Amino acid sequence: MAHQGFFQRQASARRNTGVLVILFLAAVTLITLCVCLVGYMVTRSESTGLAFADWLISRHGLYTALAVVGLIGAGSLIRWADLAGGGDRVAKMVGARPIAPDTGDADERKLRNIVEEMAIASGVSVPELYVMDHETGINAFVAGYTPGEAVMVVTHGALTQLSRDELQGVVGHEFSHVLNGDMRLNVRLIAILAGILMIGQIGAFLLRISFHRTALSARASRDRRGQAIFGLVGLALLVIGYVGVFFGRLIQSAVSRQREMLADASSVQFTRNPEGIAGALFKIGLKGGYLETTSHASDMNHMCFGESTRMKLSALLASHPPIQERIEAIQPGMFARLRSRLRDTEPGAALRSAGAPSPVPEAAAGFSAGSTGSTSPLASRSPQKLSDTVGTVNQRSEDYAVTLLNSLPSTFRNLLYTRAGAVQLCYALLLYQLPPRTQQQRLALVEAGSILAPNPELLGKLLPALASMGTGVRFPALELAMPALRKLDPDERSLLIAGTETLIRADNRLSLFELAMHTFLRRHLAADSARVVPVRYRSYRPVTAQLQVVFSLMARAGADDGRNREALFDEAMAGFTTGREKPELLTEVSVTRLRQALMTLNSLSPVLKPGIIDACGHCVLADGQVKTTEYELIRLVADQLDCPMPPLQA
């Protein structure tokens, strides 16, 4: 379960979107029929005693059905538009507060450190962090449409009551949702539930209006009779609304449960510490994770680490498997060990509230003892396919992330958390290897005002640090700066990209790093960066020309002389073309052409992308080593294909 495969999970998430639509249509149909039945009972005398089936196709029936479908659709569309802002909008909806990157709070710094380590180790941008200050329960969720604009929200209870290992387990679980495409599905589900629950909300409104008017009115009995009918219709719609609630919870449960188990397993694989996430789950079992201060707790239930709201029929309608079942799936016998450990420190009442253990067959467990280790794909002489590492965290990549973060000077690291510092980093990355005089000449070419103008004071702190740390820090530093860069206005983002283009063009040469950095910024700061790319191609045949562009670049990076480059290119293309086709190695690849090629290749079905990653890996690993520029290039290709690539051993 730990490695079902990133690409299979991505494809599964896309299929689940289709399942969601089918379940939504089924719920809408049933709710519409129920409302029509109420309408039939109210208007039956006016319709001269028609049978229900005949009434449905009469003018009354059709108008009623259209009104119901319209209301449900409007409810979903309004919430959908409201959530178009992505993860930030969801965080604000529940009243969460953004955590300042340079926060002085020890618990918040602990969370940021864990998240940054996980982001660098897994090859995704650092998500925005939020905390729900008034929630004492232990819970967390991620939201957004793409990994590049994800936000992570944790409760104050999770920050203060979990140890570092337990918090790391929760962060690993949430990163699994980021990597596997669950976030987009979860945000869409909020919008769908809003529509389904609309009828019940209207019923409750009508009922309140009816009681209010009855209390104020002392008019004729006919008036009171009309108000009574008004109230009965409201009551009927409220009851039907509970049908909608039932179906909404059923949809949440159907979509969410299996993916929660997968995320638990992935967390163990990422952290290699089953006790971390198991301990966090155990504390939720003892202390609860319900969200008490937001009216959206029920809407968010399927997104959260644990159940965020109390409900009846929890065995059927809960979005998460029972806590004990999740702990036993992580490692058989873990629940009993945690209980016995707690027995020494907690009173008996706390133990009883955690429930009694019931063994789970080992075959049903996500992990068995001793199976939580993970090795680097480049650690042995016979490496795995490079695509096997996509969407994972391994021991080597996590060690690298921890070492790198500890090696960053505190002044340098803190600058990356500010908008001004992040902008200057983009300039510094393109200049730090040049002589000081040339740096000044290049910076004079950048025409920008306010925060985007070159800042000598900040550059004076960034340039020496980059020069001393070496090339390996370039992409991780850019990723650490992405939360600050995403705070730029659309106009400021355009000016930043224009400024970096000016610096890149200044010497009429394009290095591999300049190519990688420029494409990375265009991808993550463009106006449509949060847009979900639909699948357009289910075979390689229509994208042969685009593969030719990418593999030409990879072959030129992976070999020093023309003959070896051509051989590498032919080997990379061999798995994607038939015998008759013979694409040739391109002598030059422009930024525009590469960007267009990668945009097209991102429209491939997820299950076709591993072949491209492995062919790129074949070119890069042909000489048995990975240069920093080669890693940056393959990382760029993976990033543009929405395939998070952990650091390679350079």
Point out the residues that are catalytic.
174
| Other C-beta atoms lying within 10 Å of the C-beta of residue 66 | 11
The upper half-sphere exposure of residue 31, i.e. CA atoms within 13 Å in the direction of its Cβ, equals 34
As a whole number of angstroms, the distance between CA 308 and CA 197 comes to: 18
Which residues, 6 or more positions from 547, have their beta carbon under 8 angstroms from its beta carbon? 540, 573, 576, 583, 597, 601, 612
The phi and psi torsions of 290 (rounded to 5 degrees) equal: -70, 140
In eight-state DSSP terms, residue 382 is S
Pairing relation of β-strands 151-155 and 128-132? parallel
Sheet holding 97-98, edge to edge: 97-98, 128-132, 151-155, 140-143
Within 417-455, residue ranges assigned H as helices are: 419-431, 436-443
Q: Which residues of 308-327 are buried (b: 16+ CB within 10 A; e: fewer)?
A: bbeeeeeeebbbbbebbbbb
The DSSP code sequence of 314-365 is HHHH-SS--HHHHHHHHSTTHHHHHHHHHHTTS-HHHHHHH-------GGG-
Specify burial of residue 499 (Cβ count, 10 A radius: 0-12, 13-18, 19+).
buried
Closest C-alpha to 73, from 38, 24, 144, 36: 24
Tokens, residue 180 = 């596997």
Tokens, residue 219 = 């008019």
The phi and psi torsions of 353 (rounded to 5 degrees) equal: -70, -20
| Other C-beta atoms lying within 10 Å of the C-beta of residue 215 | 8
As a whole number of angstroms, the distance between CA 447 and CA 443 comes to: 9
Give the amino acid at 434: L
Rounded alpha-carbon distances, angstroms, from residue 512 to 126, 488, 557, 642: 24, 26, 8, 20
Contact indicator for 246, 141 with CB cutoff of 8 Å:
no
Give the amino acid at 214: T
The upper half-sphere exposure of residue 550, i.e. CA atoms within 13 Å in the direction of its Cβ, equals 33
Contact indicator for 633, 617 with CB cutoff of 8 Å:
no
| Other C-beta atoms lying within 10 Å of the C-beta of residue 607 | 14
In eight-state DSSP terms, residue 84 is G
Which residues, 6 or more positions from 607, have their beta carbon under 8 angstroms from its beta carbon? 7, 8, 11
Residue with tokens 């790391």: 168
